[in-house]
Every structure is written in C-alpha cells, then in structure tokens.
A and B are shown apart, each in its own frame.
Chain A
C-alpha cells in the first residue's frame, strides 16, 4: 500500500523516475530543478537505481543524449527549467520528430532577461509547438503521479512521443508536502519494462533521421500530428487505469465548483489551488464562481474544454496566463481557449489577465480582482480594458 510521507516534491519526482527503473538519466543542473537531478545522482551512486547518469556539459547535450539513448532502446529521463529548456529547444523538437519517448520533468521558471530564477510559465510556452505531450501538475502529489503516468503514456506503442510534466518551480519543487508514495512493486506492475518499437541494433540495421526531401516532409509532419492527436485516448486510458489502481482520478480538464458557476477562472499549475481559496471566499458571499484547470496542454483537450465551458451555466471565463505573448493576444492560453470556442454558438465570453510573472506572488485580493474583471466584462458585455488586446496585468506596481 502507498505510504503518505512528508517529502520534498523534487525528491518525490526523482523517486518516480527511480520506481520507473529508468536506464539513462541525462541532465544539467539549473535552479529550481537541481534537487531532482541531485537526488537521482545519489540514487545511482548508492546503487538504488541501476542507471547510467550522464553528467552532460549542457542542456543541449542533455536532450541530445536522451534522444540517442532512447533510440538505442533505453528508458530515459531528464529534467530542466527555463534557460535550460530554451537551450535544448532545437533537440526538444527533434525528440518528438524522431518519436523518442523521452520523459522530462520541467520545473517551470521564468525566462531571462532580466534573469529570474523564480516561477512562471514562459519556459514551457516557448516550447508549445515542439510536438511533446504536455501536462501540468498543481501540487506535489500530482507531480509525482503524473511523472509515473508519463512513462506509460509516452512509451505506449500507439504513442511513442516524449512527455513533459510541468510543475511550478520553488512553489512546488522546494516544498515538503504529504505525498502518497507507492510501493516499488506496485509501480513495477503499473510500469512494465520499456519495449521500444525500433532500435539502433547492429543485427537489424535501420536508418534514423534521414533527409526529408520536399516529397516526404509534409507527410512526415502529418504523421506526427496524427500521432499526438491519437495519444488522447491513450492518455485517458492511463488516467483511468491509475484511478482504478490507486483511486486518484485525473482529467484533461479539471473543474472546481464550476457546475453552477457563472464566472470561472481558467489557469494551469499551482495557482489553481490558490484560486480555489478565492472561490470559496467568493462563494461565501454568494457569488457563483469556480475554476477550470487546463491540465492537458498538448494534445489540446478541445472537446473536454467545450463540454465544460459551452452550454453550461458558465457565462464568463477569465484566463490567467503566466507569461506574455509580446505584441500578441497577449497570453498563449487566452488565445488558444478563445480559438477553441470560436465556432461554438452557445459560448461564454473570454477575457484574459496576466499575473505571477517571475515569481510574483498572487494574493487572495488579486484573485478576487480577476473575478471582478470577469464580472465587469459580463455586466457590460465587453472587455473592460482600455483596448481588448492590451495586456491586463494583475498585481502590477504602478
């Protein structure tokens, strides 16, 4: 049976990789990911994890070595943050294109500059279109559970894609939470050894990563797009099996007190739990509010999101972005939510705010302010900003 233990979230994530019995770990240190990779190195040093730990000289090499090891048939794990992910970018795109199911724990941190080691989502949003399955955890238990599930999802023969599990740097990585850690045997049953589809094997030579002439490139990309779309049922299967085995149910889109809500705040990551406190507070005042969490970011859960937001009591959505799309919509989550609803007849209004950049805390009052922006939008029927496209930052010092 699972034991509930007080454990640092980073350590729990590293334990998940150990329990998945990874063969190769290839990672480069960066705050706030460091405790994860340090713990893995110690596990290898103590003989508690039979893996090769590659002390690479950069994140670019970390991801390149992951791709090489995966192509050679190994179960591989890496972890990074911010600048590290940005440096990896070229090979992040290749990992999905070459269909190597690398598992990455991403401790979300702001991108420089100015340099900031603190949390927001500018790192992951920069990698939005790299073809990875991308999932958000909002607490330590979820980070542990989703890391375990990532192996099952990515390595499934029907999927064969890399998976990125996101959790907020410091806010989650460096806190001690009570987490149910499973017995090793339970995980051994849940995550069987990796059976790669095609490997670099001298008895059966294959050519991996050939030139994509114009005659084939488009078809290769179409196949990749089909692969990530077709991962949806597998993701839900794994969520379902996890719920059956362990009793915790995950959904691509999660809600809190949204059933009869008129205004919902939609966000990703640890802010959701804080926003729920604001919801309870406003509910006490009789306001019909709730939250919606976009847990699955890629593949984008269009149907689930429409089911939650359209033809329901929800009249107004306030999207909280944790990064700015400069000169753009102005938040990536906002623009995607709006576009997902565009063709719906019976849909709520969607307004966007940005908050919590580079580690700026979001107070209870500020969550309340976000709901008030939603209220005003609902009352007047239009975006309350000076211009709808102008970024509305909550918590900005004037």
Chain B
C-alpha cells in the first residue's frame, strides 16, 4: 500500500493522543475480532464520555462482544434491551433521570446518556425510534458505529452498505455488481431534525472523535454522531490496516469528517491539496474487488459531487 500523504495537523493528531484520559471505561477482555474498528472507536468514545455515563447498547457486534454473562467489558452502567429500540430505551432513561432529580429522589448531577448502535440498528430497523428520540429533544448522544453491514449476523447488506459492495445479501455475481443502491446518509437525516449537534467521526482520527463526543455532551439536547468504523472481517481488509483504511476513507472523501453545530456545517478535517482518488480506498477490500473501472468511475463522480455539496453547505451556513 502506498504511503499516505498527510497534512501536518494530522500527524499532530496522532501524537497528541497521549494526552487523552488514561482511564478506560470500555475495558479489556471483550471478544471483538482483531483490528475491529468499532471496538477501537468505543475505547476512545468512552474515554471522552467518562465515568458519569450510562450506555445504552443496541443488539449487534459491540453488544455481543462486550457482555457474555458473567463477563462484562463495561466499567459504566450499561443496558442492552433489543436491536431497534436503543434510542427509545435512552429516552426512558432520560425521562426517569429528569423526573427523579426534580422530585429529589436522586441527587442532581450531570449524567451523560450515550447510545451505541450499529448501522443496521440505526439506518434501518432503529430509524423510527432514533427520529422520535431526536424530535422529542431528549438529552442523549446517539452514536452509530457504521461498519456498513449487519456484521453480527454475517455481513448482510444494510441501507448503509456502500454502492457496489458485495455482502451476503447483496452479493456480486454473474449479473450483479453488489449493492445497487447508494449509502443512506443518516447524519443528514439527523441534521434535518434541527438538533443542536451532528457530527461524523472515525477512530483513525482519535482526537477529532474525542472532541466531538465531548462537544455532544456539552450541548443541551440530542446529538448524533456517525462513526465510520472499519470491519476487517466483513470487508476483507487486513486487520493491521484498520487505522489506515479509516484514514483512506477520509482522505478520498468517501467519508468526510464534519460537524453541524446549531445548523452550521464545518469540515473538521479537510484536504486543501485535494482528495485522493477513491480507487486508493476501494482497491484493498475484498468486498469491492469485483468492481469494474466504470463502476469505480461512477462512485468517484458521486463522491466528488457529495464532497462539493458539503463544502457548499459549510460555506453557506458559516456565513
């Protein structure tokens, strides 16, 4: 793989990570695959969220790998109820804390409520519960770790699966090139709820991720963070390249890092010298290896246009 050309700030990002909190709240002993992007992300996320956090986990890889009774990797209160309802459970917790604090039945202190759900649990089956939670204005941060398929059940396609990816339910075959639809943009759907904070993030940019998680809790009201999380098992990428794959996704514009605070868009990692071609990202993955130059060209055009639109949103809303 070619050496990635990074802007100077990106190097700073990596080294300054030593200044992140030492304490772990998503701890050792979990059963994630080697090089699991979501698990790596969770570790940073929990450092940022800290001790005073209640985690609501949707069914999916992160729930399964972290809680095989009698073991738990969670050093904060954690609850798992079902697949599609994490936002709903979190709504109930938020309401309970508000009522009980008001009635003087529990001490008044700031408690972060953090949902952790996969792309299937968010973009598909949990979208209604998520929308309800955002619309009602609960004081909850909803973090979707997007590994772009239903991994826990064996790499089936979700609506967050990217165009052209081969999954077990969108397989490439003699007459098919894999997923024939474009990835659903859940961050945009969340932003359309006019909530205080929406962000995208990636574990390959840990300080950016940590800052965004913290910001989501600083602001009163609902927040949505969409975490791009490499899954070596489902994507067919070498486990040792997880961090690099995340960086390539960002550097090619496949997954731009931005935030929307009170309606204002801001790219938090940008590449003034231009984006790398998407092929640099696509070529190292089993799920894309069948793609023809024509389809890669189609993806390139779409990604370029989407990135332009994002830059325009930034320009328009920052004015």
**B92-A24 in contact (CB<8A):** yes
Residue from B70, B81, B100 having most chain A Cβ neighbours under 10 A: B81
Closest CB in chain B relative to A275 CB, distance in Å? 40
* Residues on the A chain within 8 Å of B102, using CB: 50
- Report B-chain residues with C-beta under 8 Å of the C-beta of A211: 63-64, 67-69
Task: Tell me whether B90 is interfacial, beta carbon within 8 Å.
Answer: yes
A163 to B179, CA, bound (A): 46
0 or 1 for each of A36-64: is its CB under 8 Å from B? (1 = yes): 00000000000000111011111011001
Contact of B70 among A57, A201, A216 (CB under 8 A): A216
Contact A73 B53 (CB under 8 A): no
Known contacts A94-B81, A205-B75, A210-B80: does B70 contact A65 (CB below 8 Å)?
Answer: no
- A66 contacts chain B at the CB level, 8 A cutoff: yes
- Report if A67-B89 is in contact (Cβ < 8 Å); known contacts: A52-B98, A209-B79, A211-B68: yes
Contact A61 B85 (CB under 8 A): yes
Measured between beta carbons, the chain B residues less than 8 angstroms from A202 are: 51-54, 76-77, 111
Which single member of B63, B103, B129 contacts A64 (CB below 8 Å)? B129
Q: Which of A284-317 contact B (CB under 8 A)?
A: none
A21 vs B267: C-alpha distance when bound (angstroms): 48
Interface mask (A11-23 → B, CB under 8 Å = 1, otherwise 0): 0000000000001
Contact B97 A72 (CB under 8 A): yes
Tell me, yes or no, whether B82 is within 8 Å of chain A by CB.
Answer: yes
Measured CA separation A80–B64 after assembly (Å):
32
Binary per-residue interface labels of chain B (58-98) against chain A in the complex, 1 for a CB within 8 Å, 0 otherwise:
00000110011110101111111110110111111101111
Asked if A24 and B88 sit within 8 Å, CB to CB, the answer is no
Give A329 to B318 CA distance when docked, in angstroms.
69
A67: B residues at CB distance < 8 A:
81, 89, 92
Taken residue by residue from 269 to 302, chain B's Cβ proximity to chain A (1 for < 8 Å, 0 otherwise) reads as 0000000000000000000000000000000000
Query: Does A369 touch B at the CB level, under 8 Å?
Result: no
In the bound complex, do residue A213 and residue B88 qualify as a contact, i.e. CB atoms below 8 Å apart? no
Contact mask for chain A residues 87-99; partner B; CB cutoff 8 A; 1 contact, 0 none: 0001100100010
| Contact indicator B99/A210 (Cβ below 8 Å) | no
A68 touches B99 (CB 8 A): no
Interfacial chain B residues near A147, Cβ < 8 Å = none
Query: Does B131 count as interface, using CB distance less than 8 angstroms?
Result: yes
Question: Which residue of A23, A61, A69, A207 contacts B67 across the interface (Cβ within 8 Å)?
Answer: A207
A205 touches B74 (CB 8 A): yes
B45 at the interface (CB under 8 A from A): no
With both chains docked as a complex, state the minimum distance between the C-beta of A354 and any C-beta of chain B, in angstroms.
34
Chain A interface residues toward B at CB < 8 A: 23-24, 26, 50-52, 54-58, 60-61, 64-74, 76, 90-91, 94, 98, 193, 200-202, 204-213, 216
